[in-house]
Amino acid sequence: MSHKYLPDWTLSRRQTHLRILATTDLHLNVMPYDYFADRALAASGLARTAKLISELRQIDGTCLLFDNGDFLQGNPLSDWMARDSGFAFGDLHPMVAAMNAIGYDGGTLGNHDFNYGLVFLRNALAKADFPVVSANMTLSQCDCPAQDKTLQPPWAILPREVTTGDGRTQVLKVGIIGFAPPQTPIWEQFSLGSHIGSRDIVLAARSHVPHLRAAGADIVVALAHTGVGNGGEEPGQENAGLALADVPGIDAVITGHTHQVFPGPGFEGHPDIDPVAGTLCGKPAVMAGSLGSHVGVIDLKLEKDGDGWSVSAFQVATPALEARTDGELDEKVVASVKEAHDQVVSLMQEPIGSTDVRLHSYLSLVGHAPASTVLADAMRTRAKALLADTRWQETPMAVAVAPSRSGGVAGAGNYVDIAPGPLLRRHAAELYHYPNTLCILALNGAQIRDWLEWSARLFLPIRPGIQDQDLIDPTMAGYNFDTLFGLRYEIDPSQPAAVSAQDGGGRRISNLRTADGGAITDDDTILLAVNNFRASGGGGYAMARPDQIVLTTDLALRDITKDHLSSEPVRVACDAVWTFRTLPGTSALFETSELARSHLTEAPFCRIEDAGPGNGGFHRFRLRF
């Protein structure tokens, strides 16, 4: 397989070939197994990716393997390791064991690697056989970012032997520097407290890269847990890959965070992005999907120029795993996680309750969300119990829930689907994927409206009287689309969408009222039960501020959901929380799983009809306004 991606290069006596391999957003997906649905996965899992990595290493040149962050969190195995396994300093984390077995040369941290706090993170990294670098996650800051005290070393230099075209061996010093989204300390403030700060990615790079070069790095590879973005000088960009590529002294950029594949479709239209050749600002760049679905490959032809090396040619690719469940697994990787994996698989089969209805998320982006309804019921029940006998007990409450699985870049199988009958512990985890905790905010009616306007950006502008327009904005993840259970409202996508959470500007929300029909004014106080990520402003919900927090807890939403499912059989009402505003003669198309065809009659308030096969395994449906 490696020959398929091997550049057709002839090396001169002063040239050498360096291959860079990269994974990103593995989320502790070592075994190709879905803990939530108890099924094999066809095109993911590091144990399978390791075989592809082994093939891609079979070249005449030198090869380095890096990971780009978000490797310690993402499934019930990661939660069990952090909370229930007794993992402590000196223990070998199974994910780190797997990466050691494969032979990673370096890595960086993503925002989710901080989910379980600093003690856990440090304990997990202690046994890594490779450097983990991070230049913009700080313990303390100075006037110059290069003088900051960082959580991890900001950069590292890896001396590697290379062979030039005339057969001579030389030492190449490869510099790596790491970055995470600067929003990480805010998103994770409940697990990190005030112990971690951050720097803007580009600012940190401009300060550190000259020092990395001065220390002897011949080339510099940026391990950037950040999406591609749109470039520009705006500080604090969450997705800063394009802006980072423009920093002098960086030769190649590994991106991630958004779970996309680059080079590939979806990045067209920007003059500094080549989605075919795989370049950002003319420099080679790659993003390798998620969960081990792809391996990023950057081949560099390096030429010796005096005392230094320069990139004279490059080639970028993102080979994917074959979509099969019977693929060969790396035995060493399997052995590194087998004990923990088996324990978690067994734990996930524990019976906890039953459901009388099917709980799914196939139509969660168009107003019918049985799976989200159950989570909202669980959060509301616990939140009201916590506020009993307080001054808040009679205050109206809403619950913000976004679908954790609603298709998107994760594919047509990325949905919740729990059949009527017995409920197991894995079903509670399927209903809520993340290790977040319950928080309660107090907002006024105007802020509630702003919250909903920010959520309603999911929908593309709809022109009244036009048929079969596209409905969903593919650049907005479904997990950022909040439904506020406990309220009633209408969404009109023919009206302007919010431009920013701070400045508002959206006019899509109307007829906002409580569940019993009472109108909500701008000055009314509404309690909002949320997860700690939203309470920190995650997803761009900047209307959530620390002074609005009524209550924080360490109660994991997965545990709250499990307790709720255990209390009584699940029965979900089909009442509409929100509906689209009527627009005569207007329709739009959206894609979801073809399995949604069996559920169209569950929600008569959604006028949806089958519109045939879609793209990439999805199915297309027509919504009439």
DSSP secondary structure of 72-106: S-SSHHHHHHHHTS---TT---HHHHHHHHHT--E
115 and 85 housed in the same domain: yes
For residue 469, pLDDT over 70 is answered with yes
Q: Does 356 lie in the same domain as 292?
A: no
What's the predicted TM-score (pTM) here? Answer: 0.92
Q: What is d(CA 292, CA 46) in angstroms, rounded to the nearest whole number?
A: 5
Confirm whether 586 is domain-assigned: no
In terms of domains, do 335 and 443 share one? Answer: no
Res. 56: pLDDT tops 80? yes
Domain boundary (281, 315, 342) is at 342
Residue 129 pLDDT class (50, 70, 90 cuts): very high
Buried b (16+ CB within 10 A) or exposed e, 132-153: bbbbbbbeeeeeebbebebbbe
Does residue 33 share a domain with residue 82?
yes
For 228-274, the pLDDT digits (tens) are 999 998 999 999 999 999 999 999 999 999 999 999 998 999 999 99
Q: Final residue of a domain: which of 568, 591, 616?
A: 568
CATH number of the structural domain spanning residue 12: 3.60.21.10
For residue range 383-413, what is the model confidence (pLDDT) as tens digits? 999 999 999 999 999 999 999 999 998 899 9
420: left (phi over 0), alpha (psi -120 to 50) or beta: beta
* In a domain? residue 65: yes
409 in the same domain as 289:
no
Q: Which helix (H) or strand (E) holds 280?
A: strand 279-280
The answer to whether residue 620 is domain-embedded is no
**Residues 301, 443 within the same domain:** no
Q: Is residue 622 in some structural domain? A: no
- The answer to the question of residue 128 being in a domain is yes
- Residue 349: phi and psi, rounded to 5, are -90, 5
Distance CA 24, CA 176 (A): 15
Q: What is residue 415's predicted lDDT score, i.e. its pLDDT? A: 96
> Same structural domain for residues 364 and 226?
no
Are 387 and 411 in the same domain? yes
Give the chain's domain count: 2
Phi, psi (degrees; rounded to nearest 5) at 401: -135, 130
Beta bridge partners of 401: 483
Residue 548 DSSP label: G
Mean pLDDT (whole number) for 482-507: 91
Note whether residue 150 is domain-resident. Answer: yes
Number of H helices, E strands in the chain: 14, 35
> 316 and 237, same structural domain?
yes
**What confidence score (pLDDT) does residue 3 get?**
62
| Closest by Cα among 273, 369, 348 to 316 | 273
- Report if residue 73 sits inside a domain: yes
Q: Is residue 12 part of a domain?
A: yes
Asked if residue 354 and residue 305 are part of one domain, the reply reads no
Band (1; pLDDT cuts 50, 70, 90): very low
304/357 same-domain check? no
Share of the chain above pLDDT 90, in %: 89
Residue with tokens 């002839």: 10
Q: Are 375 and 432 in contact (CB under 8 A)?
A: yes
Domain boundary pick from 342, 361, 383: 342
**Separation CA 534–CA 480 (nearest Å):** 9
Which residue is listed with tokens 């689907």?
417
Based on the fold, state whether residues 57 and 99 are members of the same structural domain.
yes
Average of per-residue pLDDT values in the chain: 95
Provide the residue range defining the domain that includes 231.
2-342
* pLDDT score of 433: 87
- Residue 453's contacts (CB-CB under 8 Å, 6 or more residues apart) are 497, 498, 504, 505, 506, 507, 508, 509
CA distances, 544 to each of 221, 423, 536, 541 (Å) = 36, 34, 7, 6
- Rounded CA-CA distance 471/494 in Å is 11
| Residue in 97, 77, 69 with CA at minimum distance from that of residue 288 | 69
Determine the Cα–Cα distance for residues 116 and 121; give it in Å rounded to an integer.
7
Average pLDDT over residues 289-298: 97
Percent of the chain with pLDDT over 70: 99
Q: What is the mean pLDDT of residues 583-602?
A: 96
Position 2 scores a pLDDT of 52
